[in-house]
Amino acid sequence: MTSSRRPAARRRTALLRRETVFATVPLAVAALLGAAAPVGSATDNGAPGAGDSYFPLSGNGGYHVRHYDLTLGYDTGSRHLDGTAVLTARATQRLSRFDLDLSGLTVTSVRVDRTGAKFTREGQELVITPRNALRKGQEFEVTVRYKGTPKPVTDPDGSADGWIPTDDGAFVAGQPQGAMTWFPADNHPLDKASYDFTITVPKGRTAVANGVLRGERTEHGRTTFRWHQAEPMAAYLATATIGTFQVRRATLPGGVQLYDAVDPREAHAANPVMKKLPSVLKWEAGLFGPYPYRAAGSIVDHAPDIGYALETQTRPVYDSAPDLDTLVHESAHQWFGDSVSLTKWQDIWLNEGFASYTEWLYEEQHGGDSAQKTFDGLYARPAKDKLWAYPPGNPGDGGKIFGNPVYDRGAMALHELRRTVGDRAFLRILRAWATQHRDGHGTTEQFIRLAEKESGKKVAPVLHTWLYTKGKPRTA
């Protein structure tokens, strides 16, 4: 998964700047968000989905969320969650009704701009009708109070996703659908926002979210943690993982705040790998451009039955002690997938292929196999191997987005690009992609255009062959 969840055979992983609430959204993305709403609708309802063909009800139409302020209280014994979510948003069309994504849990009240609003539940949709219709361009605030026992959703590939209870808390990893299991959201990568988290848990437990730790206070047997994620983030990359953790804090060059949380049962295996995180981030920044965030770190939980890690923004979450390849993979996602996000799940190779190829580059530059040798080993697989089961640029449905073709054949597509344009141009392309789309979004079509511009070569035929043709491609 990555989430970054990676194929089971390779431990399925998913894997400094302004401090403002983001008031704008790129025009291209704003157009997509607005396009999800029905044009000329008599009732001016926001659409119940963002228009994604793989997950039709993920996300919503008619508005853009600028900021989430989440206040959570979780009892690790009863597994009960109390939540208040305050969303600051802007209408991209006239809205007499709009949806949020929320699975399970009991909503006790909804307010729009401090005025009570009507609401109903329709499957995963929380349908809200404000007292007064919202004008196009209007800034508004939605407050949702809710409670209950959060339960994960089951993804099309059979994996659990979202708020997953553990023996000492919860493992919280939301790709692709799980954010809605613990807070009401516009749950699609198209809509990115800044976040504040205030999480209260029993004393002795630690609650770890995204961004910078703003405060920690214990009273009356409960500890409250406050986290702030300033840079824009897709909902599926949010976490609020809770458990008994050993915490290590440090400040990296450039002022990046490092926060590692490791379950003591995983510490012996995890700590040698975690110590390499600063050097891995430095190496990746040398290739892809400056690290995109003011916070970094990792969450290593003891939840081996989950079977994957996820590149939760600024602080990937691992279900057990990761190996170095997994650390490199999830760290690469901070550029590819987190900072540069998808506009549709079909393009997930832009996340997974890039992170997988980063593993190849790291091996190549640190005394391991060359990327060409890794490519050759994969290409030697017979035509009936699952690697060639479907093209990575169009897996076909949500049940295939975390399969081997997306990860490995996606990386092979990048290697063929590298062979076509040469090393210098290839590394220039990767850096340009990460820097030009920083904090934003990108599509496969945009990447192909950028690759041709940066290299001066016509690379579309090569990439289309490796990304979209069925079966085992021919190679030069």
User: Does pLDDT of 33 surpass 70?
Assistant: no
Is the Cβ–Cβ distance between 54 and 397 less than 8 Å?
A: yes
Please report which helix (H) or strand (E) contains residue 121, including its range. strand 118-122
Is the Cβ–Cβ distance between 284 and 331 less than 8 Å?
A: yes
Query: What integer is the mean pLDDT of 113-130?
Result: 97
Question: Which is more confidently placed, 226 or 39?
Answer: 226
Tokens representing residue 411 in the block: 């990386």
Handedness of CA 359, 364, 370, 372 (dihedral sign): positive
Average pLDDT, the chain: 93
Listed in sequence order, the DSSP H helices in 25-166 are: 27-35
User: Does pLDDT of 8 surpass 70?
Assistant: no
Please report which helix (H) or strand (E) contains residue 59, including its range. none
List beta partners, residue 300.
262, 318
Is the Cβ–Cβ distance between 162 and 170 less than 8 Å?
A: no
Query: What integer is the mean pLDDT of 246-254?
Result: 96
DSSP characters for 286-334?
Answer: HHH-S-S-SEEEEEE---TTS--EE--TTS-EESS---HHHHHHHHHTT
pLDDT of the residue at 363: 98
pTM reported for the whole predicted model: 0.93
Using pLDDT thresholds of 50, 70 and 90, give the confidence band for residue 475: confident
Three-state secondary structure call for residue 389: coil
Pick from 30-39, 124-133, 361-370, 444-453: least confident: 30-39
Using pLDDT thresholds of 50, 70 and 90, give the confidence band for residue 31: low
Query: What integer is the mean pLDDT of 436-460?
Result: 98
| Residue 217, φ and ψ in degrees, nearest 5 | -145, 135
Listed in sequence order, the DSSP H helices in 129-276 are: 267-274
pLDDT of the residue at 107: 98
Using pLDDT thresholds of 50, 70 and 90, give the confidence band for residue 43: low
User: Does pLDDT of 11 surpass 60?
Assistant: no
User: Does pLDDT of 170 surpass 50?
Assistant: yes
User: Does pLDDT of 466 surpass 50?
Assistant: yes
Is the Cβ–Cβ distance between 147 and 82 less than 8 Å?
A: yes
Q: Which residues contact 449 (CB under 8 A, 6 or more apart)?
A: none
pLDDT of the residue at 34: 54
The answer to whether the bond into 176 is cis (omega within 30° of 0) is yes
Query: What integer is the mean pLDDT of 184-209?
Result: 98
User: Does pLDDT of 234 surpass 60?
Assistant: yes
Q: Which residues contact 8 (CB under 8 A, 6 or more apart)?
A: 307
pLDDT of the residue at 21: 35
**What digits encode the pLDDT tens for the residues 94-109?**
999 999 999 999 999 9
Tokens representing residue 291 in the block: 């690290």
**What digits encode the pLDDT tens for the residues 283-320?**
999 999 999 999 999 999 999 899 999 999 999 999 99
Tokens representing residue 426 in the block: 């290839």
**What digits encode the pLDDT tens for the residues 382-391?**
999 999 999 9
Percentage of residues in the chain having pLDDT higher than 90: 90
In angstroms, rounded to a whole number, what is the distance separating the alpha carbons of residues 280 and 324? 9
Using pLDDT thresholds of 50, 70 and 90, give the confidence band for residue 29: low
**What digits encode the pLDDT tens for the residues 259-286?**
999 999 999 999 999 999 999 999 999 9
Q: Considering only CA atoms, which of 103, 114, 120 is closest in space to residue 142?
A: 114
**What digits encode the pLDDT tens for the residues 334-361?**
999 999 999 999 999 999 999 999 999 9
User: Does pLDDT of 30 surpass 60?
Assistant: no
pLDDT of the residue at 12: 41
Is the Cβ–Cβ distance between 391 and 467 less than 8 Å?
A: yes
